A = this chain, B = another copy of it.
């Protein structure tokens, strides 16, 4: 009986996923067996019947994307990758969670082929999928032509109870519903068990109703019923105007003695329970990692199918290339992650001493100069375009093409198209979803995504920034209003610790330009960086600095702006808005016969990649007295100033008042900088004289106080 055979084969295939997963967890004696046991049926249906992918070319641009948002269920994904023929040897499953293996505890982008994004921190994968669907919709709208559908794929995900509880997922779901991302389909593994117990102890909302309120299509099914999964996936694929959430009721730890308990969520079953589970699944107890040949053959069908699908696409792409060579060339370059030639031909320059300009405004002018030349540069802000200066005029609004549910605002504010071909993304007051979507867009490829908000609110998307850095994603974060100079909005809106706390994140390149011209270099760094970049910009106008004495540029991360001749008495190291302050302090010191050098250090990460000799040349020989000048926490600055160094910074929260008054109140005056340098040089009398001319407060002193320890 064919049906019977199919059914038994299907069951064997599903149980292959289950037993591979529990064997690997048991061998590692660490991991999460519960989710793979419960989610195996829906994963089997999705991966063998719906997911369009090619295990032989994991980078096929038009593949469907799959995100395992509950990354703790990583063995489910690793099992699927091995079974469907990705270059992930069975031996690597046996090395699950071992140092240097391709199978770390949570999926990591770049470790095993087929892993689309790094997941584990709950809710992030949910948001990444939204970003992938945005990238797909944009590329399809921009590059497809009548009879030439080159970009057309779905984004699938398996999300967990924990994902659904996270705010980043809530924000992302609201955004996806607003945008009507119909090709986004999530299977919600609704096992109602979390690490601490049944989710009901903290989570009793009506999830489908919530998602319907957000504009999603939903369906609730029995996740063990493969036919129900098929029907639900068919239905979701037929729904083009709304993202889909398939609430798939599963049994965590299915088949194991610990089924339906939180004990099976995050701990190995133990040899006894593994045995009992295999018995319950009518599975041979030995060998471990056993997969029946016919089950393996069923999964490996993905290779042939994937090759065929990709070849069919390739031939269509060649027709497209013939019919639309320009668009095709543009798309090929974008997918390769290359910038168009001449992208930087018209970047602005400003004359020294010209009209002072906020770096956020200089950034706006820089973006305006390159965005027409980089057609796949897309992004926006968390509801702050007018303040972050990140709107691209004429590039249109990324919105659902079938008309906005709110008819009152059919007009795009920025001009240009209103649809998926719009390049200005309105993320809403959803910083975390923005960060997570930007990462998803970067992981999808073909676009260069950015997100913008105030620097102080980088805290709201910090988990996404961390994952961008960890995953080496080309995500660009634009953070404006970068110091206490924000002024009247007060300490809740004045970043003090954010620059230094972002500097603690490995792999993240931070650039805080000192003026309009350095801002252009900041964008050069961001756009040519293969990884994640944070560009930190001022709200207030800054002088256009005189570069006649400069021995380098911001592109080197740090350079001598003034006073390069010989060995100076003191080196003033500034970033961003405080470089101008250092320049003015240098003049004041000169009046007192002290030769100061001013170093602009917009990017520690870039500077640290320079040769040691260059760094010594810039910072001066060891033991050179150095003063850091940055309107932020002084913690960490001793890295460049050394023990004999001093700091002008702020180690308290800010205050509400006019920006200039706040800066003076906290000691950001040329007098205080000069006095700090003079004290460092032992010229306390001179320092006192100068201090008397200064209305500043004691921030500088406090900073110096730090040095008492060394």
Which A residues fall within an 8 A CB radius of B? 28, 30-31, 71, 97-101, 104-106, 108, 118-122, 161-162, 165-171, 174-175, 177-178, 194-207, 209-210, 212-215, 262, 381, 383-387, 397, 399, 404-406, 408-409, 413, 426-430, 432-433, 456-457, 459-460, 462-463, 466-467, 469-470, 487-493, 496-497, 500-501, 503-507, 612, 615, 619, 622-623, 633, 635-636, 638-645, 651-653, 655-658, 661-662, 665, 706, 708-710
Beyond A213-B210, A504-B500, is A121–B635 a contact (Cβ under 8 Å)? Answer: no
A200:B405 contact, CB within 8 angstroms:
yes
B493:A197 contact, CB within 8 angstroms:
no
- Distance A383 CA – B427 CA, assembled complex (angstroms): 29
A73 to chain B: closest CB distance in Å? 13
Most chain-B CB neighbours within 10 Å: which of A165, A194, A496? Answer: A165
A463:B463 contact, CB within 8 angstroms:
no
CB neighbours (8 Å) of A662 from chain B are 99
B470:A492 contact, CB within 8 angstroms:
yes
Task: For the A-B complex with A30-B487, A100-B655, A202-B429 known, give 4 more contacts whose Cβ atoms are closer than 8 Å.
Answer: A104-B655, A120-B492, A170-B171, A203-B429
A623 to chain B: closest CB distance in Å? 8
The contact of A204 among B204, B215, B655, B706, by CB within 8 Å, is: B215
The contact of A644 among B105, B636, B643, by CB within 8 Å, is: B643
The contact of A205 among B177, B467, B496, B623, by CB within 8 Å, is: B177
Beyond A105-B489, A106-B490, A635-B636, is A459–B456 a contact (Cβ under 8 Å)? Answer: no
Considering the complex, give the chain B residue whose CB is closest to the CB of A464: B459
The contact of A459 among B122, B203, B462, B503, by CB within 8 Å, is: B462
CB neighbours (8 Å) of A459 from chain B are 462-463, 466
Considering the complex, give the chain B residue whose CB is closest to the CB of A127: B167
A161 to chain B: closest CB distance in Å? 7
Considering the complex, give the chain B residue whose CB is closest to the CB of A504: B497
Write 20 A-B pairs (CB below 8 A) sorted by A numbering. Answer: A100-B657, A101-B656, A104-B655, A105-B490, A121-B457, A167-B168, A170-B171, A194-B429, A196-B385, A196-B426, A201-B397, A202-B383, A209-B209, A209-B213, A466-B497, A469-B653, A500-B504, A503-B635, A504-B504, A506-B652
Beyond A426-B196, A640-B709, is A493–B166 a contact (Cβ under 8 Å)? Answer: no
Considering the complex, give the chain B residue whose CB is closest to the CB of A493: B120
- Distance A217 CA – B91 CA, assembled complex (angstroms): 55
- Distance A358 CA – B635 CA, assembled complex (angstroms): 29
- Distance A595 CA – B619 CA, assembled complex (angstroms): 34
CB neighbours (8 Å) of A178 from chain B are 202-205
B205:A121 contact, CB within 8 angstroms:
no
B31:A488 contact, CB within 8 angstroms:
yes
Considering the complex, give the chain B residue whose CB is closest to the CB of A171: B167
Please give the count of copies of this chain that the complex contains: 2
Beyond A196-B381, A506-B653, is A162–B429 a contact (Cβ under 8 Å)? Answer: yes
A167:B433 contact, CB within 8 angstroms:
yes
Most chain-B CB neighbours within 10 Å: which of A104, A194, A708, A709? Answer: A709
The contact of A493 among B106, B500, B622, by CB within 8 Å, is: B106
CB neighbours (8 Å) of A168 from chain B are 167
CB neighbours (8 Å) of A462 from chain B are 459, 462
- Distance A219 CA – B537 CA, assembled complex (angstroms): 42
- Distance A467 CA – B384 CA, assembled complex (angstroms): 22
The contact of A427 among B169, B202, B460, B505, by CB within 8 Å, is: B202
B491:A198 contact, CB within 8 angstroms:
no
CB neighbours (8 Å) of A500 from chain B are 501, 504, 635-636
The contact of A200 among B71, B215, B406, B706, by CB within 8 Å, is: B406
CB neighbours (8 Å) of A409 from chain B are 197-198, 200-201
Most chain-B CB neighbours within 10 Å: which of A201, A384, A413, A641? Answer: A201
A653 to chain B: closest CB distance in Å? 5
The 9 closest A-B pairs by CB, nearest first: A167-B167, A642-B710, A200-B406, A99-B657, A104-B656, A202-B428, A643-B643, A120-B492, A170-B170
Considering the complex, give the chain B residue whose CB is closest to the CB of A99: B657
A490:B196 contact, CB within 8 angstroms:
no
CB neighbours (8 Å) of A501 from chain B are 497, 500-501, 504-505
Considering the complex, give the chain B residue whose CB is closest to the CB of A265: B386
Considering the complex, give the chain B residue whose CB is closest to the CB of A706: B639
- Distance A657 CA – B106 CA, assembled complex (angstroms): 11
A264 to chain B: closest CB distance in Å? 13
CB neighbours (8 Å) of A204 from chain B are 177-178, 215, 404-406
A612 to chain B: closest CB distance in Å? 6
